[in-house]
A = this chain, B = another copy of it.
Amino acid sequence: MLRVLRKSGPLSRKDIAARIGLTPAAVTILTAKMLDAGLLVERGEEVENRAGRRKILVDLDYSRSFVGAASIETEGLTTALCRLDGVPLASSRLPPLDGETPEQILARVATSLLQLAASHNLAVAQLVGVGVVVVGSVDRQTGRTLHDYGLWDQPVPVVALLEAALGVPVCLENNVRALALAEMDFGGNPGDGRQLFLKYGPGIGSALILEHRIDTGSHDRSGEIGHTLVPGNKLVCRCGRTGCLETLASPAALVAATGLASPALILQALADGDARVKELVQTTLGHLALAIDHAIQLLDPYWVVLYGSFLNHPLVLGLLVDQLVELTANPQAAAVIRHSALDEAAPYLGGAAIAVRAFFLDLPADQPGNSRLDEIPTLAPRLAGIES
């Protein structure tokens, strides 16, 4: 029911019943409990010029609770508090400190979140969860980071440490994967829950979303478009293979190829009509387009979402889309690809997305099993004081 409301906005009890396969009577009972628990709100009536009683719209109460979010990178920490619909309420950026241990970093995260709440008059009791995103891969079972491409050199039990410090549920995810979820949940673009997300810069990060959920594959390695091979490419990748797309078509590779100092300067050169740079960019985007076409053929996504200011530049996006249309021999393919609507200055949005999902029982799943309200960890405390 929460899942349906999340996806399809305010709905009447009758419509909810139809969608989740229960009777209106059952939904009346369920909504009553959840309204009491503060999970839902009634949002007035839907006016239709038609006989009969009007629908009373029910929706998730996005404003009553909030989540914490943190992004831990080598360049520093970003923490934030967000509403359950992803709207940021407060955020802060903290620089990295020399020689700081993981434990100290997480302690700073906890302190920062509490300070943010205090300074924005948000009651900590309404903090329903925290999502942390990191650069490397994570073990979702144990809530630990695995190898982290330079930040931490050993597994860190992030979830356990932060839950001890804050006393609310904490979840952990890779930053790109979490961002892809944020795009799904907060991005405002409807779809069928199948999306390839491509974070362009400084490397080529990607995440695959199937059935509204992060797809991990059989060995936690699916969706790695940056590590598909480009024939003829002899560059050795950090992943150990030779010829990965990332070594040839990442912003870093483009910077190296053009000899310019930054992606911003490349954009400048493009705008100035620099033919040499345009050709280099075109070649690079050609590799990218080919890889994206491969992915489209194999995954048939509803969206291919690009994330990163360089690709978001109209000139670049145009070149990429042109190449893709040419490859697919189908102008409609362009409709599949678009740039993310997320604020690129908010790296914590992924954290907010996973925290919200955790609060709403990881909504998109059709997990068999628990449907008893009082056995749900995040709900139990809220339902404890209720009579019925």
User: Chain A's interface: helix, strand, loop or mixed, by majority?
Assistant: loop
A167 interface contact, C-beta 8 A: no
For A297, the chain B residues whose CB sits under 8 A away are: 221, 224-225, 227-229
A328 interface contact, C-beta 8 A: yes
We find that the number of chain A residues with CB closer than 8 angstroms to chain B is 46
For A228, the chain B residues whose CB sits under 8 A away are: 293-294, 297-298
A320 to B370, CA, bound (A): 46
* Among candidates B211, B294, B301, B328, residue contacting A294 with C-beta atoms closer than 8 Å: B294
Q: Is the CB of B298 within 8 A of A299?
A: yes
Choose, from A41-49, A57-65, A170-178, A361-369, the stretch at the interface: A361-369
Chain A 200-222, CB-CB to B under 8 Å as 1, else 0, gives 00000000101100011111111
**Smallest CB gap from A302: residue in B:** B218
A251 interface contact, C-beta 8 A: no
Chain A 338-377, CB-CB to B under 8 Å as 1, else 0, gives 0000000000000000000000000000111110000000
A83 to B45, CA, bound (A): 56
Q: Is the CB of A294 within 8 A of B366?
A: no
A86 interface contact, C-beta 8 A: no
Q: Is the CB of A210 within 8 A of B208?
A: no
For A21, the chain B residues whose CB sits under 8 A away are: 368-370
For A224, the chain B residues whose CB sits under 8 A away are: 297-298, 300
For A301, the chain B residues whose CB sits under 8 A away are: 217-218
* Among candidates B217, B219, B300, residue contacting A218 with C-beta atoms closer than 8 Å: B300
* Among candidates B210, B242, B367, residue contacting A329 with C-beta atoms closer than 8 Å: B242
Q: From residue 285 to 307 of chain A, which have CB atoms closer than 8 A to chain B?
A: 290-291, 293-295, 297-302
Q: Is the CB of B298 within 8 A of A295?
A: yes
A257 interface contact, C-beta 8 A: no
For A302, the chain B residues whose CB sits under 8 A away are: 218
For A215, the chain B residues whose CB sits under 8 A away are: 210
Given A229-B327, A297-B225, A298-B228, does the pair A367, B366 have CB atoms closer than 8 Å?
A: yes
A224 to B296, CA, bound (A): 9
A278 interface contact, C-beta 8 A: no
Q: Is the CB of A221 within 8 A of B300?
A: yes
For A241, the chain B residues whose CB sits under 8 A away are: 327-330
A residues with a Cβ closer than 8 A to B are 20-21, 191-192, 194, 208, 210-211, 215-225, 227-229, 231, 240-242, 290-291, 293-295, 297-302, 327-330, 366-370
The 6 A-B residue pairs with the shortest CB-CB distance, nearest first, are: A217-B300, A222-B300, A218-B302, A221-B300, A21-B369, A228-B297
Q: List 29 A-B contacts (CB under 8 A).
A: A191-B218, A192-B218, A194-B217, A210-B210, A210-B215, A218-B300, A218-B301, A221-B297, A222-B298, A222-B299, A223-B298, A224-B300, A227-B297, A228-B293, A228-B294, A228-B297, A228-B298, A229-B294, A229-B297, A231-B231, A241-B328, A241-B329, A241-B330, A242-B329, A294-B298, A298-B298, A366-B366, A366-B367, A366-B368
